[in-house]
Amino acid sequence: MPLNPDRILYEDEHFLAVQKLSGELVVRGAGKLGKLPLLDFLRQDHPGLRPLHRLDFETSGVVLFAKTKEAYEAAVPAGKGDDAEVPWTKSYVTLLAGKVKRDHGEISTPLPARSGRGLIPALTRFKVLERFLNATFAEAQIETGRHHQIRRHFAKIGHPLAADQEYGDRKFNRVFIQELRFHHFFLHASSLSFIHPFTKQPVRIEAPVPKAFQAVLKKLRKAVGE
């Protein structure tokens, strides 16, 4: 069965971008499989497909794949590992615990390397989109792809992702889950921008915000208006 066409966000002879769902693996991990990972599923129609980046299990949004070895090597120069700076900009939207006072800012706390060898630079830029009674809807932009970068960085400034059980605020999470009946953190890769390595033209790929995320935002807006 092919992927739902609505989930294909961009495609040419070199690259394929699709909308990843929350609760979906991009590639196989060490754990038990509940369903076929996205890469394995897509390889049924695109045998040479290679992932250019990954998203956490609960994170939704844009995932980009290279269709060929040549496309992969053109997008990610040889010799660069997972901690390397990559030639694209990724934007996310997320729901944070508490009211973030600043309208925008940067978080530059170094984070652990995926290799486990010390700390490496990391930069997250953010902009507040909406404030609710005790939560903030924000946009985050990263040019580095450190492990759990956005989740770790917002936790560092005292505003972890709502319902994030690993880096979050347990008391806030308990109230949030009870009131909104949603048990997963919200992190959505809303757009990906890069210069196409073959055409040299700018490419911007966008993914719509999931309906479950929209429903929670609607409830929070209603609470503000009451």
Cβ atoms of 142 and 93 closer than 8 Å: no
Please give the DSSP secondary-structure letter assigned to residue 98: S
Among residues 12, 56, 82, 103, the one annotated as catalytic is: 56
Q: Is 50 exposed, middle or buried (0-12, 13-18, 19+ CB in 10 A)?
A: middle
| Separation between Cα atoms, residue 146 and residue 131, nearest integer Å | 27
Beta strands in 52-134 (DSSP E): 60-66, 88-97, 104-107, 111-112, 119-120, 124-131
Helix or strand holding residue 202 (H, E): strand 202-206
What residues pair up with 127 in beta bridges, in sequence order? 104, 139
Does residue 56 carry a catalytic annotation? yes
| Separation between Cα atoms, residue 187 and residue 161, nearest integer Å | 8
What residues pair up with 203 in beta bridges, in sequence order? 194
**Residue 115: C-alpha distances to residues 49, 112, 119, 123 (Å):** 25, 8, 10, 19
Tokens at residue 28, please?
């196989």
Residue numbers annotated as active site: 56
